[in-house]
Chains A and B, each alone.
Chain A
Amino acid sequence: MSGLQSVLYCGVCTYPIEYCEFSGKLKRCKKWLLDNHPDIYPKYYSNDSKDDELPAVDSSIGVEREEKLEKSLKKLELKEENKEKRELEKKLSSKIIIKRESRTKRKSIVVISGLEILEIDMKKLAKTFASKFATGCAVSKNAEKKDDIVIQGDVLDQMDSYIHGLLEQHGLKNVKVEIIDNSKKKKAEAPKPTK
């Protein structure tokens, strides 16, 4: 690679690391840098500095303005932190609903809603389900205009365990998973349960 530069981007805020101070996530950015690239950390931040201290710069905009800037950056950081907290709470208070609905005769479908908190591509997830359970699987919009995943066939139990595993992977173990079985009645009437 001759004339090309490669730039190190922060793993937390995705900016080039010298702009971390403006991202409002400085604390975590610093931690990330220290964990992942301890060799270049001292270049940007002095070693003994406090967590929320901004990197030292010799700036031309005057002490007064610099102070103002610093203040507003701190404010931004606080705002960002609160926002994240709120989002996390919202995430934890939401729940995933797995629902079985009956179709004709012994057939049923499974509808999963509330998956958007995982922040993964629904279409891809649907594809994985389709190949995992060897059935048809699609993403559809529900009444609240949120994405639902609809799976053909009765895979309720497998789905339950799979979702729990998925949640654990994303560090959202406390999210509730609710299972609604709308076809139970019919199942009880039938002499042999479908499987």
Chain B
Amino acid sequence: MFKKFTKEDIHSRSKVKSSVQRTLKSKLVAQFPPLEEVIDELIPKKSQIELIKCEDKIQLYTVDGEVYFFQKFDELIPSLKFVHKFPKAFPTVQVDRGAIKFVLSGANIMCPGLTSPGAALPEAPGYEKDSIVVINAENKEHSLAIGKLLMSTEDIKSINKGHGIEMIHHLGDPLWNFSIE
């Protein structure tokens, strides 16, 4: 999604009204329930959220100059900086060490990388298809990418072939390096 992304893709920037900010926060909590206890710390009431509209109908939300989450169509997707702050709120999968290199260059994640001994998938029932997952790596503490499941985690276990997760955002991609000004 952010293979190519530069300042020229920005269409407009605007400050978000506090009422809209409230609904945004509640939407975030609805999507990721564990966020509830820290949401006020992550996005204080007084902070100013900015909405940046970009090419391809991507919308970025920034808090104090840092991209915290973004949106394409309806679903809010947290950015990695945001995930690093409170990782346990998000559904997580783990890839093995051999996959890290490819993930960091933006590849989709293949099923075998998710089922090998170094990797970990959640127990059944797992996560549904199309849900947003945070991707962790073997022996690493922090997450390195965010993706969307192309099949449910149970399917990944049983089929074990082909693309498992569609890459959305990874360390070192243009969004990661993106900063306002």
Q: List 29 A-B contacts (CB under 8 A).
A: A3-B38, A3-B41, A5-B84, A5-B87, A6-B85, A7-B84, A7-B85, A7-B142, A14-B177, A15-B171, A15-B172, A19-B100, A19-B104, A19-B140, A19-B142, A22-B104, A57-B139, A58-B139, A59-B118, A59-B138, A60-B97, A60-B117, A60-B118, A60-B138, A61-B116, A66-B97, A69-B97, A76-B101, A124-B181
**A interface footprint on B78-94 (CB within 8 Å = 1, 0 otherwise):** 00000011111000000
Could you say which residues of chain B place their CB within 8 Å of the CB of A3? 37-38, 41, 86, 88
Q: Is B176 on the interface with A (CB-CB < 8 A)?
A: yes
A-B CB pair tally, cutoff 8 Å: 75
Interface residues of A in 38-78 (CB under 8 A from B): 57-61, 65-66, 69, 72-73, 76
The verdict on B122 contacting chain A, using a C-beta distance below 8 Å, is no
A23 at the interface (CB under 8 A from B): yes
Q: Which B residues are in CB contact (< 8 Å) with A2?
A: 37-38, 41
Name which residue of chain B comes closest to A17, CB basis.
B142
Closest to B143 in A: A16
Q: Are B171 and A4 in contact (CB under 8 A)?
A: no
Given A5-B86, A58-B139, A60-B116, A19 and B171 contact (CB-CB distance below 8 Å): yes
Q: Quick one: which of B67-111 are within 8 Å of A by CB?
A: 84-88, 96-98, 100-101, 104
A-B contact sample (10 more), CB < 8 A, given A60-B96, A60-B138, A61-B116: A19-B142, A22-B100, A22-B104, A23-B104, A23-B172, A57-B97, A59-B138, A61-B118, A65-B98, A73-B101
Question: Given the interface contacts A65-B98, A124-B181, does A18 sit within 8 Å of B142 by beta carbon?
Answer: yes
Q: Give the shortest distance, in Å, between A17 (CB) and chain B (any CB).
A: 9
Q: Which of A112-150 contact B (CB under 8 A)?
A: 121, 124
Check A188 for interface membership: any CB of B closer than 8 A. no
Smallest Cβ distance from B35 to chain A, in angstroms?
10
**Is A1 positioned at the interface, with any CB of B under 8 Å from its CB?**
yes
Give B contacts to A, CB under 8 Å.
Answer: 37-38, 41-42, 84-88, 96-98, 100-101, 104, 116-118, 138-142, 144, 171-172, 176-177, 181
Residue from A18, A72, A76, A121 having most chain B Cβ neighbours under 10 A: A18
Specify which chain B residues have a CB less than 8 angstroms from the CB of A59 in the assembled complex: 97, 118, 138-139
B85 touches A61 (CB 8 A): no
Indicate the size class of the contact surface on chain A: 20 to 34
Chain B nearest CB from A105 CB (Å) reads 38
- Smallest CB–CB gap between A128 and chain B, Å? 13
List the 8 closest A-B pairs by CB distance, nearest first: A60-B118, A7-B84, A16-B142, A60-B117, A61-B98, A3-B38, A59-B97, A15-B171
Asked if residues A14 and B172 are in contact (CB atoms below 8 Å), the reply is yes
